Amino acid sequence: MIPFNVPPKTGNELNYIEQAIKSDKLCGDGQFSKKCEAWIEKSFNTAKALLTPSCTAALELAAILIDIKEGDEVIMPSYTFVSTANAFVLRGAKVIFIDVRPDTMNIDESLIEAAITSKTRAIVPVHYAGVACEMDTILAIAEKHELWVIEDAAQGVMSTYKGRALGAIGHIGCYSFHETKNYSSGGEGGAILINDPKLVARAEIIREKGTNRSQFLHGIVDKYTWQDIGSSFLPSELQAAYLYAQLESADAINDFRLSLWNNYYTEFSKILQPEQLPHIPNDLKHNAHMFYIKLASSEERAKFISIMKTHNIVTPFHYIPLHSSPAGEQFGKFSGNDLHTSVESAKLVRLPLYYGMNDDKQLEVVQAVRTFFLEE
Ligand SMILES: *Cc1c(COP(=O)(O)O)cnc(C)c1O
């Protein structure tokens, strides 16, 4: 059986978890959290990185931090995970869905401006498959209309756009360290990157249940009190210890995944059309978060998935567009025409790709896929 994903393991996780246990300080913001945050700040050049229990929590923190209120509108693609939308809907916002570009499955930047109204507060680009959205255009639109840019970089850790790390480009970036992502903090985890220094102090308060405990720990105030709304957005030190082992091996994991990705690309570009394969625009480096191919239709995709299953290969499809889901209909609205989102998402299927996947397994996948297309 070839699984779709195996959570990454580097070998140092247990050692660091043991150190965390022996330190007798397991609540959030201990030494491993600090190490991970410093690593992220240095590697990705952000004003402040804060670990969170998930990317979902990071997005929720972001929505509180930019004061999203009842009646506000937030722009994002419909082709994304529910958490991208939920975080803003929880604050009372209406979600405005924009079509994707069929080449990258990212938000079509050329359609954003037409969706902006007097109620618009933020644009949320989602870097699908770790491939960057067209950030220069998005930042220029946001600046012109005075909007926040919150990057959903759940899949984008270690990717860059014109030399800048994904997640470190907008005002705020959100990472996921869920076990299905490139780096894990023991199953569940995330981080928020505060790139706008003006937001850092309040982000720390919201993350600490609305208190200024962080200032207290830094010796800035001599007791801490309730300052603002907030929640508990800190992961435990056990999660941070696990994550630190992964971040230390970030380059090795990234190189390994890229090599698998490149093998797939080389093999399948021999038998598939360019529009059936992922497209990596110029000026950016991706992190091989995902390798997908597109079939001719959802019927052909169903056939593909069932034939792969007979080879014991797991090839899941991905998001059901949010605007066509019950909650999406209730809390959102599609702006413009759905030319690509529904059609393209129904063709897409993901192939097994994980740190530690061996060459024999990849060859099995390649051969099964080749057989499917060549014998059809
Ligand atoms: C995985 C993912 C999330 C949610 O991440 P969690 O850490 O599981 O909360 C949000 N957005 C996108 C685009 C994702 O891929």
Q: How far is CA 232 from the centre of its chain?
A: 21
Residue nearest to atom 5 of ligand 1 (CA): 55
pTM reported for the whole predicted model:
0.98
Listed in sequence order, the residues at least 6 apart from 300 whose beta carbon sits closer than 8 Å to its beta carbon are 347
State residue 337's pLDDT score: 97
Please give the mean pLDDT across all residues of the chain. Answer: 97
Q: How far is CA 2 from the centre of its chain?
A: 24
Distance 369 CA to ligand 1 centre (A): 28
Phi and psi at residue 137, to the nearest 5° = -65, -45
Mutation choice for ligand 1 from 155, 176, 233, CB with most ligand atoms inside 8 A? 176
Of residues 91, 92, 93, 110, the one with CA closest to residue 101: 110
Of residues 192, 178, 164, 172, the one with CA closest to residue 124: 172
Distance CA 142, CA 123 (A): 7
Of residues 93, 80, 75, the one with CA closest to residue 324: 80
Residue 376: pLDDT over 80 = no
Q: Residues lining ligand 1, judged by CB closer than 6 Å?
A: 54-56, 80-81, 83-84, 126, 152, 154-155, 176, 178, 190
Residue nearest to atom 8 of ligand 1 (CA): 178
Distance 75 CA to ligand 1 centre (A): 17
Q: Give the tens place of pLDDT for each residue, 55-93.
A: 999 999 999 999 999 999 999 999 999 999 999 999 999
Of residues 325, 321, 327, 324, the one with CA closest to residue 94: 327
Distance 325 CA to ligand 1 centre (A): 18
Distance 223 CA to ligand 1 centre (A): 36
Q: Give the tens place of pLDDT for each residue, 324-339.
A: 999 999 999 999 999 9
Which atom belonging to ligand 1 lies closest to the Cα atom of 126? Answer: 13
Q: What kind of architecture, by CATH, is found in domain 13-99+107-248?
A: 3-Layer(aba) Sandwich (3.40)
Mean pLDDT of 120-131: 98
Report the SS3 class of residue 191.
Answer: strand
Distance 46 CA to ligand 1 centre (A): 20
Which atom belonging to ligand 1 lies closest to the Cα atom of 181? Answer: 1
**Domains 13-99+107-248 and 250-375 fall in the same CATH topology:** no
Q: How confident is the model at residue 143 (pLDDT cuts 50, 70, 90)?
A: very high
Distance 322 CA to ligand 1 centre (A): 14
Mutation choice for ligand 1 from 59, 155, 177, CB with most ligand atoms inside 8 A? 155
Rounded to 5°, angle at Cα 272 from 271 and 276: 165
Which atom belonging to ligand 1 lies closest to the Cα atom of 180? Answer: 1
State residue 168's pLDDT score: 98
State residue 9's pLDDT score: 95
Distance CA 94, CA 74 (A): 6
Of residues 166, 185, 167, 165, the one with CA closest to residue 177: 185
**In this structure, is the dihedral angle defined by the CA atoms of residues 127, 128, 134 and 139, taken in order, positive or negative?**
negative
Mutation choice for ligand 1 from 178, 179, 183, 188, CB with most ligand atoms inside 8 A? 178
Burial 279-309 (b: 16+ CB within 10 A, else e): ebeeebbbbbbbbbbbbeeeebbeebbebbe
State residue 356's pLDDT score: 97
Q: Give the tens place of pLDDT for each residue, 306-320.
A: 999 999 999 999 999
Sheet strands (E) in the chain: 48-52, 73-77, 94-98, 120-123, 148-152, 160-161, 164-165, 172-176, 190-194, 284-285, 292-294, 332-334, 348-350
Distance 128 CA to ligand 1 centre (A): 11
Residue 284: pLDDT over 70 = yes
Which atom belonging to ligand 1 lies closest to the Cα atom of 189? Answer: 7
Which atom belonging to ligand 1 lies closest to the Cα atom of 188? Answer: 7
What are the extents of the domains in the chain? 13-99+107-248, 250-375
Which atom belonging to ligand 1 lies closest to the Cα atom of 190? Answer: 7
Distance 180 CA to ligand 1 centre (A): 9
Report the percent of the chain where pLDDT is more than 90.
98
What residues pair up with 49 in beta bridges, in sequence order?
A: 193
Q: From the options 3.40.50.300, 3.90.1150.10, 3.30.565.10, 3.40.50.1010, give the CATH code of 250-375.
A: 3.90.1150.10
Residue 375: pLDDT over 90 = no
DSSP conformational letter for 262: H
Q: Give the tens place of pLDDT for each residue, 27-41.
A: 999 999 999 999 999
Could you write out the DSSP letters of every residue in 82-117? HHHHHHHHTTTPEEEEEPBPTTT-SB-GGGTGGG--
Q: How many CA atoms lie within 13 A of 81 on its CB side?
A: 15
